Amino acid sequence: MAAVLLATICAVVYGMADFFGGLATRRSRVLAVVLVSQIAGLLFVLPLLPLLPGAPSLGGLAWGMGAGLCGGLALIFFYRALAGGVMSVVAPTTATMSVALPVLVGLTMGERPEPLALGGVALALGAVILVGRDSTTAGARMAFGPVVQALAAGAGFGAFFVLLKQVPEGTGMWPLFGARLASVTLVGALALLTGRTLRPGRGSLPTIVTAGVLDMAANVLYLLAAQRGLLVVVAVLVSLYPASTLVLARWVLKERLNAVQASGIGLALGAIALIAATAA
């Protein structure tokens, strides 16, 4: 039950981070948003290192750094896809790919959830697609580039989940420190090579910092959930993050939640209930 609860809260926090990250990209360049948010996340995790049990290890830091490189690239691809594509296509494409890879890896590694939990996984996969649907852009076409970027972002997020699952026990939050250090270095190097500005747009810094802190908080929750549950189940629950983004957009930006998206959120709640029932 602990893994289900942690993964569900993680999905909510990830969705909140994406909401604030999306707002930030309206005022700042993608690399600036990614780098500043990653630095904010790094500063957030530093005080947690001595507070949470665990000691640094070469293996834990290595898995974390690998995850950070994948996650950093995924964020860049994701924001670029959003900037050049249709949200109703980018969101479900990224989320579906991000859950497909961990599920495949988990099953390959021999994970076998109970039948009821598998039913919840199936419902969650359907929910991921429905919550990303926007009836106002039904049938909208998108250029090939953003589709590829969305797929690449999903693969990167999925790899992030898989690699963090491999972290040895007893390493605490040190793998996340390694992950964030790697992603900050990667994005900073890309900015230098491409000559892109890393200065946030006017008034966007608080929003970017909020996105970075929420993203790291979600990473902490995911790592704790992955240490306590099956990758197949945890990754699927975490992939429901677009639902909380939609709810925030409805409350804060007054965007309408169409019937398809509402049914997707209902399906997500049903999936969580089914998976939780098997863990009770």
For residues 110-136, one letter each, b for 16 or more C-beta atoms within 10 angstroms of the residue's C-beta and e for the rest, the string is: eeebeeebbbbbebbbebbbbbbbbee
Q: How far is CA 76 from the centre of its chain?
A: 13
Distance CA 143, CA 253 (A): 27
Answer whether residue 113 shows pLDDT above 80: no
Identify the residue with better confidence: 118 or 34: 34
How many structural domains is the chain composed of?
1
Question: If pLDDT is split at 50, 70 and 90, which confidence band does 74 have?
Answer: very high
Instruction: To the nearest 10°, report the CA torsion of 125, 128, 129, 131.
Output: 150
Over residues 190-236, the pLDDT tens digits come to 988 888 778 888 888 999 999 999 999 999 999 999 988 888 888 88
pLDDT at 78 over 60: yes
Higher pLDDT, 63 or 4: 63
Instruction: Give just the sign of the alpha carbon dihedral 135, 30, 226, 230.
Output: positive
Mean pLDDT of 136-159: 74
Better pLDDT: 170 or 265: 170
Q: Between 204 and 120, name the one with better pLDDT.
A: 204
How much is the average pLDDT of 9-35? 87
What is residue 220's predicted lDDT score, i.e. its pLDDT? 95
Better-predicted residue by pLDDT, 279 or 183: 183
- What is the arithmetic mean of pLDDT over 250-263? 73
| Confidence tier at 66 by pLDDT (50, 70, 90) | very high
Single-letter code of the amino acid located at 103: V
Residue 22: pLDDT band with limits 50, 70, 90: confident
Is the pLDDT reported for residue 148 higher than 60?
yes
Residue 250 sits in which domain range?
2-279
Q: How many CB atoms lie within 10 A of CB 103?
A: 22
